[in-house]
Amino acid sequence: NEGSEYRIEIETGSVALTANVRPSTFERLALESGSEVQVLIPHDSIHLIPDRG
C-alpha cells in the first residue's frame, strides 16, 4: 500500500515493471506462481524514469 494507491511489481523475462494503481482499478488479485496474466496500461499512463544507479 502506497498512500491511496497500491504498488504492484510485474516481472517478465529480463524486464521488471513497477506500477502504482488506485484501489478502484481492481478489487482483488491473487495468482499462483507461474500463472499467465495480461496487463493493459493506457499509453498516457506510462512514464519512464531512467535508472541513475
Q: What is the pLDDT of residues 1-53, one digit of tens each?
A: 456 777 777 777 777 777 777 766 666 667 788 888 777 777 777 777 777 76
DSSP E strand boundaries for the chain: 6-12, 15-21
pLDDT score, position 43: 79
- Indicate whether 52 belongs to any domain: no
- Indicate whether 40 belongs to any domain: no
Query: Does the pTM exceed 0.85?
Result: no
Residue span of the structural domain in which 29 resides: 1-33
pLDDT score, position 20: 77
Task: Please tell me the total count of domains within the chain.
Answer: 1
- Indicate whether 23 belongs to any domain: yes
Among 6, 7, 13, 17, smallest CA distance to 40 is for 17
- Indicate whether 48 belongs to any domain: no
